[in-house]
Structure formats: structure tokens, C-alpha cells
Amino acid sequence: MGESPTGNRRSESGFGLVEIMKPNRNTKRSGHSLVELSIVVAVVLILGALAIPNVANALANIRLRGAASNFAGLAQQARITAVKRNAVFTVRFGVPSGHGAYIDLNNNSSYDTGEPLIQFSGNANQVAAPGGASGAPANLDATSTPLGWTATSGNVSFNSRGLTCDVTVTPCGANVNYLFYFQDTRIFGGHGWAAVSITAAARVKVWFWDGFNWIN
């Protein structure tokens, strides 16, 4: 048995030379120090703290838009049903649990099993007009706002022609516009706002407050 020029020992056998490798004592182990790992963890925590409020607001915006969009869809359903049945139907708020709205098919001003219903996700709910005070947005039907008309108060109804009408008037008063606002409370403070406008011609539009303007 001899030693190779590299310092590795060799053994001879009948089948040839078998080289036995020695571990290289000069090889260095790579790794990270505790300080480096602590810095990485700190950076991740800081980035997470900055991202969490943005993610929470984004999810809340989705739920709020969903509430407004679902109400707009329910209003369209009430309109179609009124035309099909040649009758007047009203969309009302107030459901057995949580927040939501329904089509009052028998006009008894309360929800009954089987009536079309939607429930708002999260803590979104229908509220009064914001009025522009204390950081709230201006009303959509205020001066110099996108609508250009003044909304009628109360619940929206649709007549047999598929047009909006005021059920408090007999017969159901036509040529009326409606505007409904939706609000939620955010985890990190503040509120989100959305709205649904319904014109006298029964055109339904969803609006969202981006913090500066009403957009659709």
C-alpha cells in the first residue's frame, strides 16, 4: 500500500487500486450567524406589520363592494319580477339575522320564508346618507356631484312597467330616484363607503368611495 502525491492513501487489490480519500481539513463549513438570522426575522416582521393593514383594507373593500353589488342585483331581480307578475314589489332591509335585504313579495313589510333575500358579508350594512361631515364622503346627490338629481327617501319599489315608484303614494308614484348607502367599520379604524343609485328609468349603478371621490 502506498501514498498518492495528493496525500491520499491507496490500497492495492487484485482488481486495481482503491483510493481512500482523507477528509480535507481545510474545508470550511458555510452558515449564518445568529445576528444575521435575527436581522432577517426583524425585516420580515417589519414588512408584515406594514402589509397587514393594506391586506385587511383590501379584503374589507371586496366585502363592501360585494354588499353593494348584491343589493343592486336584488333590485334588478325585483324589477324583473314586477314586470313578469304585473304587480308592484318593494325591496326592503331587515332580515332575520345579520344585515341584508329582501324582496317583499306579499307586501306585508316583513320577511317571509321563500322571499328572495341577500345577506351582507362582514359588518357591512345599509346606513343613512353620509352628509360629508367628520371625514365622511359628500352625498352622491349633493351639489356638484355625479348624479345630478335628488333621491327620494324610503324603500325602492318597481311597478308593472319595471320603473321605480314610491309605494307610499297610491297608485305607486312614478318618476322617482333612489340612493342607498352602505358602510363598514375597518379593523384598524375608519369606515368604508359604497352606494347604489337607481334612477327613475330603473338604471342601477354601484358606487365606491376611494377616500377622495365617488367612483363606479
The answer to whether 177 and 200 are in contact (CB under 8 A) is yes
More confident site: 171 or 92:
92
Q: Does residue 23 carry a pLDDT above 60?
A: no
Residue 183 in 3-state DSSP? strand
Termini Cα distance of the chain? 87
Question: Domain residues of the chain, as ranges?
Answer: 54-215
Mean pLDDT of the chain: 85
Mean pLDDT across the stretch 118-133? Answer: 93
What is the tens place of the pLDDT at every residue in 24-61? Answer: 555 555 566 777 777 777 777 676 666 667 778 889 99
What is the tens place of the pLDDT at every residue in 60-88? Answer: 999 999 999 999 999 999 999 999 999 99
pLDDT of residue 64: 96
Give me the percent of the chain exceeding a pLDDT of 90: 61
Element (H, E) at 35: helix 34-85
CATH code of domain 54-215: 3.55.40.10
Lowest mean pLDDT among 26-30, 51-55, 136-140, 189-193: 26-30
3-state helix, strand, coil in the chain (%, to 5): 25, 25, 50
